[in-house]
């Protein structure tokens, strides 16, 4: 490495964000830019560690450890330390089609498995990645690169989230004619409507990459619901291969008494409607507008945080986030050693904003909802909740049990269910007659990505279940490689 003693000389530093009070006034991205000198110091912290766990991309204890797309992290950290930005971009693009997305929304499992992170705060890998690609766009280095020749083979990609876009990008590079079908009015899937604008700017970041892919020859068709607007029979007739990247969009519901009350919605319904309003420049739909309301978000994770941040920007009166799990420890527990993902307490942007505005972290741990209470008109007015403790049942499995005497009622005119997803929507899969596994995901072996239907492949959340954006990119790239092999007999794709 360029600075063997860098990790001893420099501490971890982040560029930081604009203040909560300033950023909640709009829907703009709020991350600040770090000067080049600071980035070079952060790159210098990358150790000559011998075995860089940061880019291994393995599953350890059920969670990602290291980068699932195997980014060449030590290489571009060193290049940034030496000021070689163009070479760093080349290294970054070898494994990642969309570093401007992952540099903003990935939870950075690479940092969780950083070797330096076993004894000191880890290298700021995510920050460096984002700055490499943002610098490259600013310098005009990222330009359309259409393939030199076409194979004449046609591939349909269903779904335009990170898996679909990465599959389309790779197949287009191989010279195939790629058409991406998206049922929404804009391309991007989860990237466009599942993540709020303040985390990932749609016009400046997402649409910029979509336009770049279009200029390279990828055809995008929006507002097309495959299975109804276009029959699956016609699709299989018109294309030589199909890749299913429809995502795991079936949200987990909460069927407790009062669920029918007006004011209880799935988180993705809420986030999609609000992002669309922001992009269209139209008022928020009344049912999804948190202004002046007491908001309760049920569920943690990124989606729950996004709901908290969105409700605050809409001007909610209060926001509470219910988390059925216990509060994580401040430091790694004994059963959570490096290089596992560190399951420790932290406040994400939404919680930081809520704490600044209302005085405390909005999360209430070991708490669950028991009933949604409506007024005489059927409109939600409160949520009955109870504390829980985790116990073993008769079969020895751990589960939550109500704690007597902890019942209380929270005022609420808007409840958002952010409890994860149950798999892909089924009508299209049934129409194609593709096999599914016990979780209703598309049955396709990782590494091959082939379904039971010849020429039909599957990738991303639709195949593996709800997961990270980096896993979606990993699978989209890999499915494209196997699709290219199917079409040509061999493949040049990585």
CATH, residue 297: 3.50.50.60
Pairwise CA distance, residues 190 & 181, whole Å:
14
149 found inside a domain = no
E strand residue ranges, 349-492: 363-365, 367-374, 380-392, 398-402, 408-411, 414-417, 456-458
Does 294 lie in the same domain as 190? no
Cis check: omega of the bond before 269, within 30 degrees of 0: no
pLDDT at 1: 67
Grouping H, G, I as helix, E, B as strand and the rest as coil, residue 226 is strand
Does 407 lie in the same domain as 459? no
Does 350 lie in the same domain as 205? no
User: What range defines the domain where residue 71 resides?
Assistant: 6-139
Does 286 lie in the same domain as 192? no
Task: Give me Rg for the CA atoms of the chain.
Answer: 23
Q: Write out the chain's pLDDT in tens, 494 residues.
A: 678 999 999 999 999 999 999 999 999 999 999 999 999 999 999 998 989 999 998 899 888 899 999 999 999 999 999 999 999 999 999 999 999 999 999 999 999 999 999 999 999 999 999 999 999 999 999 999 999 999 999 999 999 999 999 999 999 999 999 999 999 999 999 999 999 999 999 999 999 999 999 999 999 999 999 999 999 999 999 999 999 999 999 999 999 999 999 999 999 999 999 999 999 999 999 999 999 999 999 998 999 999 999 999 999 999 999 999 999 999 999 999 999 999 999 999 999 999 999 999 999 999 999 999 999 999 999 999 999 999 998 888 999 999 999 999 999 999 999 999 999 999 999 999 999 999 999 999 999 999 999 999 999 999 999 999 999 999 999 999 999 999 999 999 99
- Give the length of the chain: 494
Pairwise CA distance, residues 315 & 311, whole Å:
6
Judge whether 418 and 269 are in contact, CB under 8 Å.
no
Does 409 lie in the same domain as 272? yes
Domains of the chain: total: 3
- For residue 171, give Cα distances in angstroms to 165, 176, 230, 264: 10, 6, 22, 41
Does 377 lie in the same domain as 277? yes
- Which residues are 296's β-sheet partners? 320, 415
- Copy the structure tokens of residue 49: 């560690």
E strand residue ranges, 126-176: 154-158
pTM of structure: 0.95
* Final residue in a domain of this structure, among 397, 417, 437: 417
Does 278 lie in the same domain as 408? yes
* Final residue in a domain of this structure, among 139, 167, 191: 139
Instruction: Report the candidate in 305, 269, 302, 312 with the shortest Cα–Cα distance to residue 288.
Output: 269
299 found inside a domain = yes
Please report, for the chain, how many H helices and E strands are present, in that order.
17, 16
Phi, psi of 270 (to 5 degrees): -65, -50
477 found inside a domain = yes
Does 10 lie in the same domain as 57? yes
Cβ partners under 8 Å of residue 320, min gap 6 = 294, 295, 296, 297, 362, 364, 410, 412
Question: Strand 408-411 vs strand 380-392: parallel, antiparallel, or unpaired?
Answer: antiparallel
* Final residue in a domain of this structure, among 417, 439, 463: 417
Does 202 lie in the same domain as 128? no
Does 131 lie in the same domain as 42? yes
Instruction: Report the candidate in 404, 320, 330 with the shortest Cα–Cα distance to residue 364.
Output: 320
493 found inside a domain = no
Does 133 lie in the same domain as 14? yes
268 found inside a domain = yes
Instruction: Quick: pLDDT tens for 275-299.
Output: 999 999 999 999 999 999 999 999 9
């Amino acid at each position: 490495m360029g600075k063997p003693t860098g990790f001893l000389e420099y501490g971890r530093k982040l560029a930081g964000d604009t203040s909560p009070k300033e950023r909640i006034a709009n829907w703009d991205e709020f991350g600040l830019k770090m000067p080049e000198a600071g980035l070079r110091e952060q790159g210098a912290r990358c150790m000559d560690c011998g075995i860089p766990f940061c880019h291994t991309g393995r599953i350890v204890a059920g969670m990602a450890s290291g980068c699932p797309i195997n980014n060449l992290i030590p290489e571009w950290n060193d290049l940034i330390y030496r000021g070689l930005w163009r070479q760093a971009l080349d290294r970054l693009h070898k494994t990642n089609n969309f570093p401007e997305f992952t540099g903003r929304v990935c939870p950075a499992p690479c940092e969780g498995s950083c070797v330096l992170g076993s004894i000191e705060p880890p290298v700021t890998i995510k920050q460096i990645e984002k700055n490499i690609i943002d610098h490259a766009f600013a310098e005009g280095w990222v330009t359309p690169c259409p393939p030199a020749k076409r194979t004449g083979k046609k591939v349909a990609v269903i779904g335009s989230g990170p898996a679909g876009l990465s599959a389309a990008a790779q197949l287009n590079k191989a010279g195939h004619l790629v058409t991406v079908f998206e049922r929404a009015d804009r391309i991007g899937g989860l990237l466009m409507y599942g993540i709020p604008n303040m985390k990932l700017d749609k016009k400046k970041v997402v649409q910029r990459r979509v336009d770049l892919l279009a200029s390279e020859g990828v055809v995008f068709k929006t507002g097309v619901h495959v299975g109804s607007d276009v029959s699956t029979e016609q699709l299989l007739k018109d294309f030589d291969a199909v890749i299913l990247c429809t995502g795991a969009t079936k949200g987990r519901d909460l069927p407790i008494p009062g669920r029918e009350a007006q004011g209880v919605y799935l988180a993705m319904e809420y986030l999609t409607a609000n992002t669309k309003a922001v992009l269209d420049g139209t008022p928020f739909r009344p049912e999804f507008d948190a202004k002046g309301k007491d908001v309760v978000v049920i569920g943690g994770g990124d989606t729950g945080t996004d709901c908290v941040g969105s409700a605050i920007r809409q001007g909610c009166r209060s926001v509470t986030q219910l988390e059925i799990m216990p509060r994580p420890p401040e430091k790694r527990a004994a059963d959570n050693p490096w290089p596992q993902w560190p399951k420790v307490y932290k406040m994400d942007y939404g919680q930081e904003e809520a704490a600044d505005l209302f005085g405390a972290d909005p999360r209430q741990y070991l708490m669950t909802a028991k009933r949604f209470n409506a007024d005489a008109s059927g409109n939600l007015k409160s949520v009955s909740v109870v504390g829980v403790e985790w116990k073993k049942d008769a079969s020895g499995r751990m589960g939550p049990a109500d704690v007597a005497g902890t019942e209380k009622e929270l005022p609420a005119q808007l409840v958002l269910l952010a409890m994860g997803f149950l798999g892909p929507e089924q009508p299209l899969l049934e129409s194609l007659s593709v096999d599914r596994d016990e979780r209703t995901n598309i049955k396709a072996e990782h590494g091959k990505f082939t379904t039971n239907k010849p020429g039909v492949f599957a990738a991303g959340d639709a195949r593996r279940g709800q997961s990270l954006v980096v896993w979606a990119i990993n699978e989209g790239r890999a499915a494209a490689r196997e699709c290219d092999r199917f079409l040509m007999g061999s493949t040049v794709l990585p």
